[in-house]
Structure 1
Amino acid sequence: MTGRIARLLLSLLCLSLLPFAAVAQTVGTVNFDFDSDQLDAQALQQVRSIADSLKASPSYKPTVVVGYTDAVGTSAYNRDLGRRRAQRVAEALVAAGVPVDRVGSIESRGKSELLVAVATPERRNRRVTVTLDDILKACRTYREVQLDASSVGDALQNDLESRLADAVANYSSLKTNGLNGPAYQMAGAAREDCNRAVGFKSDSIRKVEYAKKCFCSSARMQVALGLVTP
């Protein structure tokens, strides 16, 4: 119990320094030559670096692989090119030893989100980003949360403890100031669900169930606080 309280206090301290937010964790970026979906020497090195990071840090979160292009060409062509680039990186990650189930969604933004706002060819815009999926999204029911027995481990436990600390902090703050009744209610639900999820042992069949509930109520709390768009 003492160790758990200490971890919660540490999480609360971290939260006071950096606001908790639903932000996908970037693993790495791969760049491409003009009008190409082929991996050159630099891109292959970038893929290997991303693969090493994913293999060194097991996580229950799948990756999101998103392809982008520069501003040259039509929107339709660039959407297709971005998807081909994302697909190429996803295949290369698997070839580099990343488990297939760690490679999640593959998307394309085409030229809609330029990193460098120029109309000319720019390698930095021709990229694929690999991030860890942000599971913290508004959900209608906890059954939508993609967790199973294979998700249980240190990474999940740390995330549950962080969400519990966030719920405790928000519940206390909202109770004191009396503002935002819906967020207060959801903070209370998240506090209860996350506390139960944290308390279950890793081999308990209830841990996954309450982990899902923790994620869902935590997401609803973030929506009620205006930090996440529903």
Structure 2
Amino acid sequence: MSLFESRCLKATDSYKPTVVVGYTDAVGSSGYNQDLGQRRASTVARALVEVGVSVDQIGDISSRGKTDLLIAVTTAERRNRRVTVGLADILAACRSYRDFALSESAVGDELQTDLTARLQVAVAQYDQLTNSGRNGPAFQMAGAAREDCGKAIGLDAGSIRKIEYAKRCFCSSARLDAALAQ
């Protein structure tokens, strides 16, 4: 990560935590590579803190080891040895919207834009699934996301219900993504 990129990260006031993920090449055991990827990610996270990124901004620090190779080879390909730093996509999987921490301070333009984008995806998926006659889990989750995200967008920024429906929107969207992947 360049100094410019770390400055941008410090300047980004986001409700989404930063995720740091370490990767390795394909040489060595899975266990060793998992640990090596974790060490890489932890080193980058410490470096971010040293240049002034708030510890509170750093969320998940994890390893993908030798999974998700950039270059699919079984040799020591240097480009597979990397660390990615980015903003977390809200709720990779969602058990309950109540489990998601979202404070009133998160309500703002970025949240509204995110909710609007999720609503657009839900409406498009719902329409597509309706036209195809498919009414399985993806159809149900598209309908739930369409309803939850629509309500969240329509609520006033000062409303406590805004936070509740934003959480519901994120959860329904995550469930829709999982259902579409099946």
In the alignment, residue 218 of structure 1 is paired with which amino acid? S
- How big is the shift at 1:162? 0.7
Q: Distance in 1 between matches of 2:170 and 2:100?
A: 7
* Counterpart contact for 1:47–1:93, Cα < 8 Å: no
1:81–1:153 distance in 2 versus 1, CA, 3 Å: same
Measured after TM superposition, the shift of residue 142 of structure 1 is: 1.1
1:114 to 62, 66, 69: 69
Q: For residues 14-54 of structure 1, give each alpha carbon's deviation from its aligned partner in whole angstroms, at most 9, with x where no partner exists.
A: xxxxxxxxxxxxxxxxxxxxxxxxxxxxxxxx242332232
Question: Could you give the per-residue CA deviations for residues 73-106 of structure 1, whole angstroms, max 9, x where no partner exists?
Answer: 4443333222222111101112222222211111
Q: Structure 2 matches for 1:192-207, cutoff 5 A?
A: 192-207=147-162
Q: Give the total of aligned pairs.
A: 181
**Residue of structure 2 in register with 1:222 after alignment:** 177
Cα distance in structure 2, aligned partners of 1:71 and 1:210: 43
Answer with 1 or 2: which has the greater Rg: 1
Residues 176 and 200 (structure 1), Cα distance of their counterparts in 2 relative to 1, 3 Å cut: same
Q: Please report the TM-score for the alignment, with normalisation by the length of structure 1.
A: 0.68
Report SS of the residue matched to 2:22: strand
Q: Secondary structure at the match of 1:128?
A: strand
- Structure 1 match to 2:25: 70
1:164 to 102, 115, 119: 119
Aligned residue among 131, 150, 163 for 2:86: 131
CA distance in 1, matches of 2:132, 2:89: 30
**Matches of 1:114 and 1:176 in 2, distance apart?**
37
Q: Secondary structure in 2 aligned to 1:108?
A: strand
User: 1:55 Cα deviation (Å)?
Assistant: 2.9
State whether residues 27 and 75 of structure 2, in contact with CA within 8 Å, keep that contact through their aligned partners in structure 1. Answer: yes
Structure 1 alignment gaps of length 5 or more: 1-45
Secondary structure, counterpart of 2:95 in structure 1: coil
* Amino acid across the alignment from 2:44: V
Question: Could you tell me which amino acid in structure 1 is paired with residue 48 of structure 2?
Answer: L
1:183 aligns with 2:145: no
Give the 3-state SS of the residue equivalent to 2:61 in structure 1.
strand
**TM-score normalised by length of structure 2:** 0.84
Say whether the 8 Å CA contact 2:148–2:168 is kept in structure 1. Answer: yes
Q: Percent identity?
A: 61
Structure 1 residue aligned with 2:107, among 140, 145, 152? 152
Give the direction of change, closer, same or farther, for the CA distance of 1:118–1:105 in structure 2 (3 Å limit): same
Partner Cα separation in structure 2 for residue 57 and residue 149 of structure 1: 18
Classify 1:185/1:76 alpha carbon distance in 2 versus 1 (closer, same or farther; 3 Å): closer
Q: Given residue 22 of structure 2, which amino acid in structure 1 is its aligned partner? A: G
